[in-house]
Amino acid sequence: MSSKERPTLGGTRIKTRKRNIAAPLDPEAFSDAVVQIYLDNAGDLELIAKSLESSDLNFSRYGDTFFEVVFTGARTQPGTVKPDEGDHHPYSIIECEPKRDLILPSVIYIQKILRRRPFLIKNLENVMRRFLQSLELFEDDERKKLAIFTALAFSQKLSGLPPETVFQPLLKDNLVAKGIVLAFITDFFKEYLVDNSLDDLISVLKRGKMEDNLLEFFPPTKRTPEALSEHFNKEGLVQLVEYNEKKLFEVRLKDMKSALTSQLAEEVDVSEIIDTVKQHVKDAKFPDIEVVRILWDVMMDAVQWSGKNQQQNANSVLRQVKTWAKLLNVFCNTGKLELELMYKVQIQCYEDAKLMKLFPEIIRSLYDQEVLAEDTILHWFRKGTLLKGRQAFVKALEPFVKWLEEAEEEE
């Protein structure tokens, strides 16, 4: 044998690896099989679930098709919400009346299916997302049924269904502009709040990243706080209106606090700061008490704490009070507001160790700058103190009060 020739084994067969041949998709046959199960069991969801469990249907391949049959009674045409050619059953969610007691069994039925086949949650998300993005293709009562189903799905904590699956697809400009989204989300809110608290609803909105963006559900021409309040009040969702007004109030307070903090840091003239406060109060209709609280918070936040010793901290606080006393004087202009300022100082001194021993000095400084009147201080001392640190603060302020009382007797 030549050295160049390779040895071979006679009579051997070289096996070639067989390639996996994928079976062609046949969603129509799957749909027809599921529809037949519905028909055979006359729409009884308990029996249907048992029949599906014992069947050899390929749910992992046709999960989307399965939920199309559940929602519409048949497989839907690609790109639409209309049933495709083929078998159809009359027991779907879209076919029933828009009533919670008729739709709830379907939610419980889907829950059972998902417990046995958790992987189908993605298919449910796909179908719901597609239907919600195509709401304009449904009739009004069909959209209402979808809203009721969605609310019940969250109320029943349907396995793993994330809120963003519902809320984000709704925010299509054309759907929002036509008012379709607002009608849907209103039905959703009303239905969800039948069995759940407002806190539960807010939790769902937070997970869907919509708790601060309720106005995004409104058409652009009606995207105002006034329109939101009017709409939800009319629909009987008063608690949602109150929640939104509270959130709006907090945002406006935060904006005012941010503006004042910047102005104090830049040492803007006090008259300009007064104008800023008045403008915010006018725009947001802030209560006088909230204004006093905000002013004190901003003033204290601007204090430069040295942290070296108590006297330096005291000097910093008293310097701040003296610098901005005129600002406090403008807005702390009644006995009630003066007392509220004392409460604010008491609470802050109680909660902040740096200020605990400075309470009498702060009160004395506010008195010297004519922010607090003698009557207010005496009222607080005699019967107006808060519980927090009462004994310690009353005792600390006793020498100053005694001096006030002696001066009052002399007069």
Q: What is the pLDDT of residues 343-387, one digit of tens each?
A: 999 998 898 877 888 899 999 999 999 999 999 999 998 887 778
Burial category of 56 from C-beta neighbours within 10 Å (exposed 0-12, middle 13-18, buried 19 and up): exposed
Q: Could you tell me the two tokens for 29? A: 């046959």
Alpha helix (H) ranges present in 211-237? 225-234
Rounded to whole angstroms, the Cα distance separating 194 from 3 reads 91
Q: Structure tokens of 11?
A: 């009579």
Give pLDDT tens digits for 320-333. 888 888 999 999 99
Give, for 354, the enclosing helix (H) or strand (E). Answer: none
Mean pLDDT of the chain: 87
Tokens linked to 51: 């029949």
Which residues have CB under 8 Å from 149's CB, separation 6+? 93, 103, 106, 107
Q: Is the distance from CB of 189 to CB of 238 less than 8 angstroms? A: no
What pLDDT is attached to residue 320? 87
Considering only 10-19, 126-135, 208-217, 280-289, which range has the smallest mean pLDDT?
A: 10-19
| pLDDT-above-70 percentage for the chain | 91
> Rounded to a whole number, what is the distance in angstroms from the first to the last CA of the chain?
136
H/E stretch holding 147 reads helix 140-155
Q: What is the pLDDT of residue 227?
A: 95
Most confident of 7-16, 279-288, 296-305: 279-288
**DSSP secondary structure, 155-212, as one string:** HTT-TT--THHHHHHH--HHHHHTTHHHHHHHHHHHHHHHHS-HHHHHHHHHHTT-TT
Mean pLDDT of 4-18: 54
400 dihedral zone (left: phi>0; alpha: psi -120 to 50; beta):
alpha
Query: Counting every residue, how long is the chain?
Result: 411
Interatomic CA distance for residues 317 and 355, integer angstroms: 9
Question: Residue 293: which residues within 8 A CB-CB, separation 6 or more?
Answer: 340, 344
Whether the pLDDT of residue 7 is over 70: the answer is no
* Biggest CA pair distance of the chain: 136
Token reading at 323: 């610098």
Q: What is the mean pLDDT of residues 105-119?
A: 94
**Angstrom distance (rounded) from CA 340 to CA 143:** 51
